[in-house]
Structure 1
Amino acid sequence: MNQAHDIAQRLAQCEAAIRHDPRDLVAWHDRGGLLFALERWPDALASYERVIALDPRLPEPHDNRGLVLQRLGRHADAIQAHDAAIARNPRFGIAYVRRAMALREFGRFEDAHADAGRGVSLMPGVPIALNARGITWNDLGRLDEAVADFRQAVAAAPQFAEAINNLGNALHDLGSFEEAIACFDEALRLRPGYPDALSNRGLSRQELGQLDAAMADFDAALAARPGFAEAAKRRGALHLLRGDYAAGWRDYEASLQALDARQRANGAVNGIPQWRGEPLACKSLLLSEPNGFGDALQYWRFIPCLQAMGAEITFQGRPALFELLRSSPWPVRFLPADEEPHGFDFHCQLWSVPRLLGMGVGDIPADVPYLSADPARVARWAGLCEPVALNVGICWQGRPERKIDAGRSIPLAAFAPLADMPGVRLISLQRGHGIEQLRSLPAGMQVLEPDPRFDAGAHAFLDTAALMQSLDLVVTSDTAVAHLAGALGRPVWLALKWMPEWRWMLKRMDSPWYPTMRLFRQPSRGDWGGVFTAIRDEAAAWAVSRT
């Protein structure tokens, strides 16, 4: 209350000075800072723009204008404002730090890291610069470096709640959930009701299985900051994990509305109206899927639902997946991600379709297969399988640069109980990251690796899909390979971390998404040994039943 009163008094003094001299640069600039503190962003922006109009040579008002523009969600404009500040003073350290935060909004993480590093070099030991560089280290997946910067920032400024919160984020990403929660608790002690710390603590509590406490944190974060997109998305995911699809979709809708407004502020929407469930008869619908190949394969099942409503469908994405998606029985046009779309009535992200159609767990279309393999490729790779063996295709690692992969990937050595079974032949389906583990297998463990031609072309998963037709079973971590096997209607056993993604729900051994899938869950956090003991025992029983 005293702080608010002090700001009000100082603001009145600025207003009086401006009335006395409308060209008082200092008064206009101080007014902008006070309005910023009051979160009156448009008024603060007008003050800084008045200073720039009076004297465009000064770097500080350009930089502060950029900071206000970030708060308004206008990150492209903010970058230009910080550019102007740096052009006027190339050694303006805080301007580099602030520009780094704006660059992150466009996924320009390397550029952001370079700016943050420049800020640290110009302001050595300054907590705000160390905090910014820690954030960019985290963006790049360099978590140990991020933790080091955050710890240094907190050591220099023990009351720096943002840095303590960010340290908790990095520790969460490293899997140190209890230590992360301690950081969020401290950030909340310093700043009661801090929405980001509440939301982040909820995520760490969820990983520890404290689901009611996590839900309470997400509720509190949204109460403290209505429209908080990330907290709404996280709460939605927790509802979906628990099987409450109606509540989950509502939260996802709220998060998307906030993100859509932000995209519009950044000029990122191409002018095509977003589909929100309107009639689609004789309408053209542009679909995309930003979350990776696995999600595209999972949600492809909804294409006929949209076509039954009369929509003409075009899918825009990475061309590497187009050939596989063309194997579905539904007529779809394809547009590469780097081409500008024109002439569509609506656009929609594919994963939003079940939400917009109001689907619950029991409504998910689960008719498989809805993808197929090329017969010539099937014949080419069938020779990897032995008729008398139990041929098991395995995949163990996703893309480590994606934070969502944390805890999902499995050390290849954990498959040893399956490899040790008599009559079992393990065949690698792994491509890219993780394949190096084939060079350091435990003694006696054998995994057959297809030759280098296997899925080496421009089209993803065509050979994997073909080989799956000859396999008896696929055993995989939570990657796109699991979705491919399910979409092909092949038997697939999915090894899940203790607290999985929402789509796999809780406690179930089956999946409403894929009728040929079985789920094997860690009995405790990090316990892959328990998972593969269960898989081995089930495989042994299954092998007996097949004889």
Structure 2
Amino acid sequence: MSPDPRAVLAEAAALHRAGQMEAAIDGFRRAAALQPSFTDAHRMLAMALLQTGRPKEAVQSARAASNLAPNDPHALLLLGVGLQAAGQAEKALAQFDKAVKLAPGFGEAQFQAGNALAALGRFKEAVARYSRALELDPRAVEALANRAVALGRLKLHTEALADFDHLIALQPWMPMHLANKGNLLLETGDIAGAAAVAEKALETAPRDADVLFLLGQARFASVDLEGARSAFQQAVDVAPGRVDIRVLLAQVLRRQEAPTEAIHQCDAALERDPRHAGAFYERGEAKRAAGDAAGALADLDSALAIAPRHVEAAVARSYVLADLGRMGEVRPAIERALRNGPKHSDAVFHLAMDDLALGRWAKGWAGYEERARIVPPTYKPLPFARWDGKEIPSELVVLGEQGLGDAIQFARLVPLLAERGIPVKFLVRAPLAPLMTTLHPGVALISDESDLDLSAPGLRWVPLGSLPLLIAQDPAAWPSVPYLAAEPERARQWRHVRETGDFVIGITWQGSTRRDIDVGRSAPLSAFAPLAAVPGVKLVAIQRNAGEEQVDEVPFKGRLLRLDADFDADGAFLDSAALLQHLDLVVTTDTSMAHLAGALGRPAIVALKAVPDWRWGRAGEASVFYPSLTLVRQTKAGDWAGVFETITEMVRGRMAARPEVESGASA
């Protein structure tokens, strides 16, 4: 005698309630096999299969149930849920619509229809279905939550925030609602608001990974790297399997100059998801920062193989190719990025720098404006109207930006404003202000925003790096060199560096300590050994701070004149500018010293990586910005030996051609 299918179903249902899912599924299958027309057996089997993550099998059982009960809206709903879980949103929507037609007041069917429409990207229609579900049941929290998300996708931020506030009022104990509200605030640019929401959520859920993730993102957006690192690390500790959190933690670590730790986080992410393009991208960036260009390129290629439209990876690939000296491949890599993200700030900015390197000034300066939208941006806007380059403001504040070298390079254009009769205030970092006092008598120097009267009518501001676009696109039209000068009395104090017969060379070798900026630019001091070996050469180490420790590590340290600790202490480059007046030559890598020598009109040789920064062009020995500089480029990426052999021969030639000078005379 065959078992009673109802008894088998009851036993399976008991197993299901006890959490013994596989045994329950076996029981539901037996009940359905014993009596194929047993609708409840098919329905309960479908529900159990959905709960165990087997949507395709669930669809088969749900379809059997709906075929047996074609006018049962609940059976249609179950089939729709199964199709939705199986990734067939269009077919799922058809089932939900059938259920609604049979039972117009069936709120769950309206809700699920909203989910299907959201999955199809039809957010306006989804909002309408969620709203209908809420009309039928005003306390349908899931419908309210999903409507808030859909409204956010439609950029209806006010309405979305109102829904999130309603959710928080209904369920104040649920951190998810606060986290979702915070994510929306973050999206709208309200970083402080997002952080405040995250902090509030942590009061009731201190170990909620989503809330910690939100807090980390808010802190990262406000450039609080240490705070972001702490929040992301706590989130990883709570949810070690969350790859998205590990990838953002890796980005923070990389920006904190900890590439090895960043690589470790990416490795852990890729162990959990071997095809996570973001983890490959971030590991590629970290490897580049760690000096492993080949490894970086391999990771970026992996990211693009998985996600061909990954714009950040394509941009990063362009500058790794530059690191490797593969000049001909750089621009195609940037153009690939732009095809996939024509308005992507990093891609536009990098193409602009390549245009500038090629002398395409109008196009290059226009794209250079994108630097305000890269992460992190190169300047923070001032709190009043920006100058458009056309009107004559009653007072114009020129905002210094980027590094010291950039400030020196673009400061050359500020006097043009004064010569047009525009009252100009040049806002620069305090250490640089004393050097800039020699720029032009019509340019006032300030180093603090508090020195400005923000109520003054007609007050305008402009970032320093935007002056080329607005007033002088072709460097051939820029004011002549020199445009900065050393203090005469200070210059006289440095006459002692020269003795009869010396050929005195000032040297610097280390630029920015930021790995993402300095990749390949700085040479080790040991590379200067051929210069130190030339009879009659006297080397003066002008290097300050980072890199100074190398002096004690080279065998020719006894031939280096080291400067006192208070050198340049009372103003950036004040002593340097004075010292340069008594040097025959400066030999430097791509550092701010190159810009200083160029601005002072002093002779210098600049040692450059194979594909250098845009301002040095792509070929040749001459600098379009500084006539007194000579450029020597690597012929092979990373080969400083060849560069310094060439420089040494240049120095020998200059020594042979120099006129006799007396001790204490200026070169």
Percent of paired sites with the same residue: 33
What is the distance in 2 between the residues matched to 1:474 and 1:105? 40
Amino acid at match of 1:196: E
Aligned match of 1:387: 500
Cα–Cα, structure 1 residues 297 and 385, in superposed 2: closer, same or farther, change >3 Å?
A: same
What is the distance in 2 between the residues matched to 1:145 and 1:177? 17
Aligned match of 1:465: 577
What is the distance in 2 between the residues matched to 1:252 and 1:231? 11
Aligned match of 1:453: 566
What is the distance in 1 between the residues matched to 2:151 and 2:298? 33
* Residue among 208, 225, 228 paired with 1:92: 208
Q: How does 1:82-161 map to 2 (within 5 A)?
A: 82-161=198-277
What is the distance in 2 between the residues matched to 1:177 and 1:402? 12
Which deviates the most, 26-35 or 461-470?
A: 26-35
Which deviates the most, 413-422 or 211-220?
A: 211-220
Q: Find out whether 1:442 has 2:552 as its counterpart.
A: no
Which deviates the most, 89-98 or 209-218?
A: 209-218
Give 1:32 deviation, angstroms.
3.8
Aligned match of 2:116: 9
Amino acid at match of 1:65: K
Is 2:251–2:262's contact at 8 Å kept on the other side of the alignment? yes
Q: Find out whether 1:485 has 2:597 as its counterpart.
A: yes
Aligned match of 1:306: 417
* Residue among 498, 501, 507 paired with 2:613: 501
Aligned match of 2:477: 363
Structure 1: unaligned runs, 5 residues or longer: none
Is 1:420–1:445's contact at 8 Å kept on the other side of the alignment? no
Is 2:415–2:439's contact at 8 Å kept on the other side of the alignment? no
Is 1:94–1:129's contact at 8 Å kept on the other side of the alignment? no
Give 1:525 deviation, angstroms.
0.6
Cα–Cα, structure 1 residues 226 and 19, in superposed 2: closer, same or farther, change >3 Å?
A: farther
Cα–Cα, structure 1 residues 491 and 213, in superposed 2: closer, same or farther, change >3 Å?
A: closer
Q: Find out whether 1:329 has 2:440 as its counterpart.
A: yes
Is 2:325–2:636's contact at 8 Å kept on the other side of the alignment? no
Is 2:415–2:440's contact at 8 Å kept on the other side of the alignment? no
What is the distance in 1 between the residues matched to 2:463 and 2:310? 31
Q: How does 1:45-84 map to 2 (within 5 A)?
A: 45=161, 47-84=163-200
Q: Find out whether 1:225 has 2:337 as its counterpart.
A: no
Cα–Cα, structure 1 residues 205 and 40, in superposed 2: closer, same or farther, change >3 Å?
A: farther
Which deviates the most, 110-119 or 223-232?
A: 223-232
Amino acid at match of 1:464: S
Which deviates the most, 117-126 or 1-10?
A: 1-10
Is 1:113–1:137's contact at 8 Å kept on the other side of the alignment? yes
Is 2:176–2:210's contact at 8 Å kept on the other side of the alignment? no
Give 1:509 deviation, angstroms.
0.5
Q: Find out whether 1:347 has 2:465 as its counterpart.
A: no
Is 2:418–2:443's contact at 8 Å kept on the other side of the alignment? no
Q: 1:167-217, CA deviations, whole angstroms, 9 ceiling, x for partnerless residues?
A: 121122233333323322322333331222222223323433445644344
Is 2:355–2:364's contact at 8 Å kept on the other side of the alignment? yes
- Give the match's secondary structure for 1:519: strand
Q: Find out whether 1:401 has 2:517 as its counterpart.
A: no
Cα–Cα, structure 1 residues 112 and 505, in superposed 2: closer, same or farther, change >3 Å?
A: same
Aligned match of 2:664: none
- Give the match's secondary structure for 2:413: helix
What is the distance in 2 between the residues matched to 1:3 and 1:359? 55
Please report the TM-score for the alignment, with normalisation by the length of structure 1: 0.91
Task: Compare CA radii of gyration and give the structure with the larger one.
Answer: 2
Cα–Cα, structure 1 residues 374 and 499, in superposed 2: closer, same or farther, change >3 Å?
A: same
What is the distance in 1 between the residues matched to 2:276 and 2:162? 29
Q: 1:289-332, CA deviations, whole angstroms, 9 ceiling, x for partnerless residues?
A: 22011111111110121122321111223211111100223322
- Give the match's secondary structure for 2:494: helix
What is the distance in 1 between the residues matched to 2:390 and 2:407? 22
Cα–Cα, structure 1 residues 508 and 429, in superposed 2: closer, same or farther, change >3 Å?
A: same
What is the distance in 1 between the residues matched to 2:430 and 2:410? 17
